[in-house]
A and B are shown apart, each in its own frame.
Chain A
Amino acid sequence: MLFPLAWMVLAAFKTEVDVFSTRLLFKPTLDNFRAIFSDPILLGSHIWVSALVSFLTVAITVPLGAAAAYVLSRHRFRGRESLSLIILITQFIPAVVVAIPFFTLFRSAGLIDTPIALVIIYLSFTLPYAIWMLRGFFDALPVEVEEASFIDGCNEFQTLRHVTVPLVMPGILVSAVFAFISAWNEFFFALILTRQNSLTLPIAIQSISGPRGPEWQQLAAAGLLVMVPIMVMSLFIRKYFVEGITVGAIK
């Protein structure tokens, strides 16, 4: 099961000759990393585009999602359940349907190949997802804690700031990680909305191909750079990982 992963990790440190041999022993080298970083068209700037796009997506998704999730969990008002349900259902919308109007819109607005376009379109799936996941976290928090704070004379805003948000912090972190992962790994939208200036890593690694097909050892090194941050983050939220996916990470 871990074999393809192990292969990629090893290949990242191999020379071209070693990649194509099935021998187990080889002399590790850092040349591949040097190559992909020194050549500007390979990875140089793309890693920053990816980081920027993912970071902005998280920075908008998490506060907006948490605020909405709080209201949907704690406030009683008409249409609350239908609203939650509509938000869940948006998770099932195939990205390609949303992509068609966005593509024509961004084209006429001159936003194709900009990080902004990617962030806007990524919000279409990270935000509804974050709201659903965070609603679960707010629902799991006993309402009595907040009631005690109200009795102590705090208003709703103070309670939210000093009691509710700190208690639901693990949930906020989990939703941040999920939003980051989906933006960082995203391929489809990045493929249609970028050309050369705002290529994210999943798209940029396609350019790693020599005259005889992909330079596999460099591709593996680039893959490792894409993979490692996500692996580390997944480990942090291990406890919530499976649950998070059943809630609606259908992408």
Chain B
Amino acid sequence: MKAGQLRSGGLRWMLLGPALVVILATVVSPLVSSFITSFRDWRLIYSPTPGAFVGMDNYTRALSDAGFLNSLRVSGLYMLMSVTMTLLIGLGIALLLAKPTRLNVFARTLLIFPFAVAPVLKGYSWRFMLNPDYGVYAKMLGAVIPPLKGYLWLGHEFSALLSIVMSEVWGWAPLFALMFIGALGSIPGETTEAAKVDGATSVQIFFRITLPLLAPVIYIVALLKIISAFKMFDQVAIMTGGGPGNSTQTLYYYVYQVAFRNLDMGYASAVSYILVAIMALLAFLYVRVLLREH
């Protein structure tokens, strides 16, 4: 007898129904609604109800909007910096803690903490520590590299973006390390032992054995980080508010400003759909990788 025969269709819809209704109401319908809005002219300051259809105007407006193009550039740059740094630091931590000694196992437990910290708190603690007058990091960096003494980390274009990257790398690199440690654990010890016997240096072992075996995990986590990078908002809001100038105005933050500061709902919807298009491409890649894994 197969279990499937005893599973009833009636119970199926009773159990699945409520969740589907909620998803339809909270995800699908707002998505459709903002898609329609993206073809309308709707400034909430002037009218509480949606305005006229304007075709592709909102989308073509984005192409010549310096603010939007800048946010695209900032998000791209932010993504490149945060992905590279998270991967490198995460890999470093993983190799450091790879041996399952008692101390290392304890240290691994601590690795989940930074990720669990609310992004708002990440933002505040980094803002404090980078303060040139009393921030510990700012002082330490100033002591090591004298020209950086009293440097306003959040007051210059590149270093402000770098600071936001650091706050995020701090949360994600330990998490990456945990994933890498898991993958490293599945590499059979004999392989590396045999290579050592054959006279391979540890650099060779790393590049020829460890790295290729880690490649699938690296691929997944890198995609995960790329996706999260395009959603960067919280620390920007807390640490820089998009400044100085508009140097830390990520795409996400830009949509937020257009929608909830300028209340330009039609245009904001269009820009957010450009973000959706980027996400869709990344989601497609991610799902393909994920499904191949399982």
Contacts and interface: CB of A to CB of B under 8 A. Distances in A.
A65 B118 contact: no
Interface of A: 1-5, 7-8, 19-22, 60, 64-65, 67-68, 70-72, 74-77, 85, 87-90, 92-104, 107-108, 120-121, 123-124, 127-128, 131, 143, 146-147, 150-151, 155-157, 181, 184-185, 187-188, 191-192, 202, 205, 214, 216, 219, 223, 226-227, 230-231, 234-235, 238, 241-242, 245-246, 250-251
B8 interface: yes
Contact of B26 (A3, A72, A98): A98
Given A123-B22, A223-B121, A89 B287 contact: yes
Interface in B232-271: 233-234, 237, 252, 255-256, 259-260, 265, 268-269
B71 interface: no
B44 to A, nearest CB: 7
Nearest to A85: B287
Nearest to A185: B118
A241 B110 CA distance: 12
Contacts of A184: 118
**Secondary structure of the A side of the interface?**
helix
Contacts of A89: 283, 287
B22 A67 contact: no
Interface in B57-99: 93
Contacts of B279: 92-94
Ranked nearest first, the 3 interchain pairs of A and B with the lowest CB-CB distance are: A68-B19, A124-B26, A185-B118
17 contacts: A5-B117, A64-B22, A65-B19, A67-B15, A71-B12, A87-B23, A90-B23, A92-B283, A92-B286, A93-B27, A94-B231, A97-B272, A150-B3, A205-B120, A227-B118, A231-B113, A246-B224
B15 A4 contact: no
A205 B136 CA distance: 22
Given A8-B125, A67-B19, A124 B30 contact: yes
A20 B134 CA distance: 5
Contacts of B11: 156-157
A245 B119 CA distance: 16
A219 B124 contact: yes
A156 B44 CA distance: 51
A229 to B, nearest CB: 10
Contacts of A227: 116-118, 121
A101 B287 contact: no
Contacts of B120: 185, 187, 202, 205, 226
B260 to A, nearest CB: 5
A230 to B, nearest CB: 5
Interface in B4-58: 4, 6-9, 11-12, 15-16, 18-20, 22-23, 26-27, 29-31, 33-34, 37, 44, 48
Given A89-B283, A230-B118, 13 more contacts: A1-B114, A1-B170, A1-B174, A67-B16, A71-B16, A85-B287, A93-B276, A94-B230, A96-B256, A103-B260, A123-B22, A227-B117, A231-B116
Contact of A234 (B7, B116, B265): B116
A65 B23 CA distance: 10
Contacts of B210: none
B179 interface: yes
A97 B30 contact: yes
B15 A151 contact: no
B37 A100 contact: yes
Contact of A242 (B27, B31, B179, B252): B179
B275 A120 contact: no
A74 to B, nearest CB: 6
B255 A96 contact: yes
A8 to B, nearest CB: 5
B118 A202 contact: yes
B63 to A, nearest CB: 19
Contact of B170 (A4, A75, A188, A216): A4
Contacts of A151: 1
A150 B231 contact: no
